[in-house]
Amino acid sequence: MRPLQTVVAVSLLILSVIGGSATAHSDHGGAAGLEAPAPPADDPSKRGRYGGPFILVDQDGRTVQDEDYRGKYLLLTFGYTSCGDVCPTILQTMGRALDLIGAGASAVQPLFITLDPERDTPAHLKDYVSAFHPSLIGLTGPPANIAATARKYRILYKKVPGKDGFYNIDHTTAIFLMDKDGRFLERFGYSIEAAELAGQLSTRINQGAAAAPNRQ
């Protein structure tokens, strides 16, 4: 096991011992205070409030766009690899939910978009996300591109300086589900359980499959 994966594994073990739920007293400090209100997912007038085009760099160093993931449901979240508890918990929840839906997971592409491009290089992201699910892809990019993407998902974030040059990042914590055409479907809070998330994913996938013949 590589060093970073060892650190992640230990963090996940600690989280499972204390209950595995993200709380407001995380290393994000004011993360809970940055929580943005979510519009009702079933209100058509609100569907465009999250998401949009992006140009980022994936964990293999390739430039990618949102259009590259068309044809799959996107399950995505924002964070950074130096996060001590909330981000690993969210990614663990996403990974478990995908495991729970079994074959249905092939219709979903999970993404982790870093808010810390300064430290989160493609190689670092690749090592980090591999600890959560084999299909999870990490995305980074120029700070301006990260900021533009975060705005489209109404993600607030700021750098919080610490000691000896270290810093944390306070940020909005949420999981987003986009349909196969990149349109917003659902926004989940960071405290959602894996079983509930799996149920929501299965429902959306089944609804999409049922509607597919009618679109032909």
Q: In order of start, what are the domains of the chain with their CATH numbers?
A: 3-27+51-207 (3.40.30.10)
Q: What is the mean pLDDT of each run of 10 residues along the chain (216 residues)?
A: 50 41 38 45 59 98 98 98 95 98 97 98 98 98 98 97 93 97 96 97 92 64
H-assigned helices in the chain? 3-17, 86-100, 122-129, 143-152, 194-215
Confidence at residue 15, expressed as pLDDT on a 0 to 100 scale: 41
Confidence at residue 209, expressed as pLDDT on a 0 to 100 scale: 82
CA distances from 85 to 21, 79, 177 (A): 9, 11, 22
Confidence at residue 2, expressed as pLDDT on a 0 to 100 scale: 58
Residue 170 gets which letter from DSSP?
Answer: E
Please name which of 185, 155, 149 lies closest in space to residue 171, comparing C-alpha atoms.
Answer: 155
Is the pTM higher than 0.85? The answer reads no
Confidence at residue 214, expressed as pLDDT on a 0 to 100 scale: 61
Using DSSP's 3-state secondary structure scheme, residue 155 falls into: coil
